[in-house]
Chains A and B, each alone.
Chain A
Amino acid sequence: MITVRYFGMVAEKLNKQEEKLDFTEVQLPVALIDFFKNRYSSLEKMSFVTAVNHTISNELNSLDGIEEIVLLPPFAGG
């Protein structure tokens, strides 16, 4: 199981900040943005990037050592 964390507008749309997902049945490599847009129709029109183990990446190639996937909506710092 991989911890998936949601932030900002994405967390609000899904009404949750975190969940555990089982990726063992998912055919790899997988494009994460498409994966989450297919899984959650409410994200279909949203803009976000994904990060795997704290590095921004849209690709999940392997489950080895993968602890966290995050969905990050547009940044608004400053």
Chain B
Amino acid sequence: MKKSLVEGPISPQFIADSIAKHQTKTSIGAHQIFLGQVRADEMDGKTVHAIDYSAHEEMAEQAFHTIREATFELFPLTCMHIYHSTGEVKAGEICLFVFVSSAHREASNKAIVYLVEEIKKNVPIFGKELFEDGTHVWKENK
């Protein structure tokens, strides 16, 4: 099973390298990429400076696997990559990288929307939003 959880933020270089690796796959005509970035939300006059992500790792990897299989069933994709951070990710850094490729644009356009929604709903990942003063709140997907 492909692993999706990675420790720490996802670097722009990792994303660039991932794009570069697809240049040999010439049956692909369309890529779609979604990048989730940690937002410096303001709450009660305090600003989020990072999110500390934790997960039930076995269940999360299984959920990513199930979502990946379902997405391949629904859309004619050539390939798909999903990475999500665990541990601390600072505001402005990337915590989710979803990358789908297909022969034509329609499949990758639709698949990326479906994938991100499924990930947010079904993967047991938890996020502690950390403030500069050492306090925190728990994030909850709506």
Q: Hey, which bits of chain A sit against chain B, CB under 8 A?
A: 5, 7-9, 12, 51, 54, 70, 72-78
**Cβ-defined contact, A76 with B59, below 8 A:** no
Chain A residues lying within 8 Å of B59, measured Cβ to Cβ, are 51, 54, 70, 72
**Cβ-defined contact, A78 with B138, below 8 A:** no
CA distance A20 to B58 in the complex (A): 19
Chain B residues lying within 8 Å of A72, measured Cβ to Cβ, are 56, 59, 124, 126
Smallest beta-carbon distance B34→chain A, Å: 9
**Cβ-defined contact, A73 with B126, below 8 A:** yes
Given contacts A70-B59, A75-B124, A76-B138, contact A8 B54 (CB under 8 A): yes
B116 within 8 A of A: yes
Q: Hey, which bits of chain B sit against chain A, CB under 8 A?
A: 36, 51, 53-56, 58-60, 62, 84, 95-96, 116, 119-128, 138-141
Q: Could you write out 15 A-B pairs with CB less than 8 Å apart? A: A5-B56, A7-B56, A7-B126, A8-B54, A9-B126, A9-B138, A12-B138, A72-B59, A72-B124, A74-B140, A75-B125, A77-B96, A77-B141, A78-B116, A78-B141
CA distance A7 to B60 in the complex (A): 12
CA distance A18 to B76 in the complex (A): 42
Closest 9 CB pairs of A and B: A8-B126, A77-B125, A76-B127, A76-B139, A74-B140, A9-B138, A78-B120, A77-B123, A78-B36
CA distance A78 to B127 in the complex (A): 9
CA distance A5 to B120 in the complex (A): 22
Chain B residues lying within 8 Å of A51, measured Cβ to Cβ, are 56, 59, 124
CA distance A78 to B116 in the complex (A): 8
**Cβ-defined contact, B138 with A75, below 8 A:** no
Smallest beta-carbon distance B124→chain A, Å: 5
Chain A residues lying within 8 Å of B53, measured Cβ to Cβ, are 76-77
CA distance A73 to B90 in the complex (A): 22
CA distance A61 to B104 in the complex (A): 48
